[in-house]
Amino acid sequence: MSTEQKNLQEIIKFRLEKLDKIKAAGFNPYSYNYNKVDHIADIIHKGEKSVGSFVKTAGRMVSFRKMGKASFTHVQDNESKIQVYLKNDLLPENIYDSIVRNLDLGDIIGVSGELFITKTGELSIKADDLTILSKNIRPLPNLKEKDGEAFNAFEDKELRYRHRQLDLIANPEIKSIFKKRAKIISTVRAFLDTNGYIEVETPVLQTVYGGASARPFTTHHNTLDQSFYLRIADELYLKRLIIGGFEKVYELAKNFRNEGMDRNHNPEYTSLEYYQAYSDVFEMMDFTENLFRDTADKTGELKFEYSGHTIDLSKPFKRKSMFDLLEEYCGADVSSMDTDALKKLAKEKSLEIEDDLNYGQVLDKIFGELIEPHLIDPVFVTDYPKAISPLAKEDRNGNLDIVERFELFICKTEFANAFSELNDPLEQRRRLESQAKLRELGDEEAQIVDENFLQAMETGMPPTGGVGIGIDRLVMLLTQQQSIKDVILFPAMRTED
């Protein structure tokens, strides 16, 4: 969209002329500060009881009706909006002619005055003074509305995401999603903090990326003349802290994955990982369940509708083995099948399976296609194949093909992934070396041998339980949003032009 559009240029030109008129009259159209005494929501909240009292507030003009020597405007602040009556006679000398006549939709003003009820019954401020705080020179989207319903609503998703500030002005209810996001994050932090966890920060720029199976972003440091990767996970560094003697650590920060984008994936996303020494995946299951329940409870409701399903986080989360689920939904005992038998099963269920997939990949595929769509109520799925879990400990009961791992599913979506963390340095080395072989065979997402990590583990890592949670998805669930773009203020977009 060109910025050279003549109509837009003309609107801007007229606003610049008004700006000059305000300056010429001796007023600064871009003030340094304003003593905003009252929040509009507080004024509205008091309602008719406040009539006759004097208030002083500020906000953005979102409606403007001029009638010669008097005007009405609605001023919108962080949480609410109120009508302001601007009357020539009631304002100080020169304010009406020099400022009010040069105001536009989108200007930010400060006003003071007495509260009254208009003829049509709306609580309003009868302005006895007005200060212009910021002059708008670029028009806002249409803000016409009646009874809270917008006409010509600003709902083009591309414009809303690219120009989020306009979205927040035109659709102020969107702010509640991001306020809730902030509350979810602070509640999660508080939960971990009160349970003795220490929040840490580990490198975003990594020379060897690891801790997950994904393709990274690559960048370059000039002074070191060396490539760096933006982290795909913070797992390996957090384990080094466990080895160093922190017994409970967590990091709540962004990861970056150079992969597909859709309503569940943004290239940069917020992840939470927490690790507890001397623990295992089963204890972490209890803890994670409590974390989810506590967060939902303190930020909203435990029971809600999402994607057409009723989700109830107050009930105990189910716990099921992947093999039991496969038996339940496929009617086949998969536990004794080898890779070929699994492939045969997949083909019977008319899944497309590439020939070069290994045991774990086939099982994962079958699970994703045939089981995940059934997982509505919260369920911890356990017993994952070792081949797709290179950082998890083998099953303690002697099944060498599976590991101690869970993924938490709610409403068909994965929310958490956890292991009894592998702490045997020799086994860890074998696992990463076998990943390296997969990589040589062309698996771009296979993990890399991180020698520093392996040396750290050789120092001795206590048994540890670790969990990763996709925070954006948690926010989606608890705010009932269907797209990750609606819980990220500035989702990744291709550049225009």
- Tokens matching residue 278: 């001397």
**Residue 89 CB-density burial (10 A; 0-12 exposed, 13-18 middle, 19+ buried):** exposed
Range in contact with RNA (rule: CB under 7 A) among 188-196, 266-274, 314-322, 397-405: 266-274
| The one among 417, 423, 435, 464 contacting RNA by CB under 7 A | 417
Q: Decide: is 430 part of the binding site for RNA (CB under 7 A).
A: no
Nearer to RNA, 267 or 462 (CB): 267
Region at 152 (left for phi over 0; alpha for psi -120 to 50; beta for the rest): left
Q: Decide: is 228 part of the binding site for RNA (CB under 7 A).
A: no
Which of these, 322, 307, 286, lies nearest to 465 by C-alpha position? 286
Nearer to RNA, 47 or 368 (CB): 368
| The one among 49, 220, 396, 494 contacting RNA by CB under 7 A | 494
Angle at Cα 175 formed by Cα 291 and Cα 293, nearest 5°? 15
In whole angstroms, how far apart are CA 463 and each of 234, 240, 278, 466? 18, 13, 5, 10
Nearer to RNA, 145 or 247 (CB): 145
Site for RNA in 300-359 (CB under 7 A): none
Q: Decide: is 259 part of the binding site for RNA (CB under 7 A).
A: yes
Which of these, 462, 418, 471, 470, lies nearest to 286 by C-alpha position? 418
Q: Decide: is 473 part of the binding site for RNA (CB under 7 A).
A: yes
Range in contact with RNA (rule: CB under 7 A) among 32-40, 81-89, 245-253, 339-347: 81-89
Residues 116-135: x where in contact with RNA by CB under 7 A, - otherwise, as a string: x-xxxxx-x-x---------
Q: Is there a contact between 270 and 188 (Cβ–Cβ < 8 Å)?
A: no
Provide, rounded to whole angstroms, the least separation between the CB of residue 67 and RNA: 4
Q: Decide: is 220 part of the binding site for RNA (CB under 7 A).
A: no
Q: Is there a contact between 258 and 217 (Cβ–Cβ < 8 Å)?
A: yes
Distance, CA of 41 to CA of 59 (rounded, Å) = 12
Rounded to 5 degrees, what are φ and ψ at 284?
-65, -25
Nearer to RNA, 68 or 196 (CB): 68
Count Cβ atoms below 10 Å from residue 387 Cβ, excluding itself: 22
| The one among 257, 343, 386, 431 contacting RNA by CB under 7 A | 257
Q: Decide: is 144 part of the binding site for RNA (CB under 7 A).
A: yes
Which of these, 258, 251, 201, lies nearest to 232 by C-alpha position? 258
| The one among 36, 56, 63, 79 contacting RNA by CB under 7 A | 63
Distance, CA of 243 to CA of 245 (rounded, Å) = 5
Range in contact with RNA (rule: CB under 7 A) among 44-52, 84-92, 243-251, 392-400: 84-92
CA 381 to chain centre: 24
Nearer to RNA, 84 or 243 (CB): 84
Which of these, 301, 294, 296, 319, lies nearest to 377 by C-alpha position? 319
Beta bridge partners of 183: none
Q: Decide: is 485 part of the binding site for RNA (CB under 7 A).
A: yes
Provide, rounded to whole angstroms, the least separation between the CB of residue 144 and RNA: 5
E-strand spans in 281-325? 303-306, 309-312, 318-321
| The one among 129, 155, 297, 348 contacting RNA by CB under 7 A | 155
Number of residues lying near RNA (CB under 7 A): 84
Nearer to RNA, 79 or 443 (CB): 443
Provide, rounded to whole angstroms, the least separation between the CB of residue 92 and RNA: 14
Distance, CA of 449 to CA of 145 (rounded, Å) = 59
- Tokens matching residue 307: 């994607």
Provide, rounded to whole angstroms, the least separation between the CB of residue 275 and RNA: 17
Provide, rounded to whole angstroms, the least separation between the CB of residue 96 and RNA: 9
Provide, rounded to whole angstroms, the least separation between the CB of residue 71 and RNA: 8
| The one among 405, 470, 477, 481 contacting RNA by CB under 7 A | 470
Nearer to RNA, 12 or 436 (CB): 12
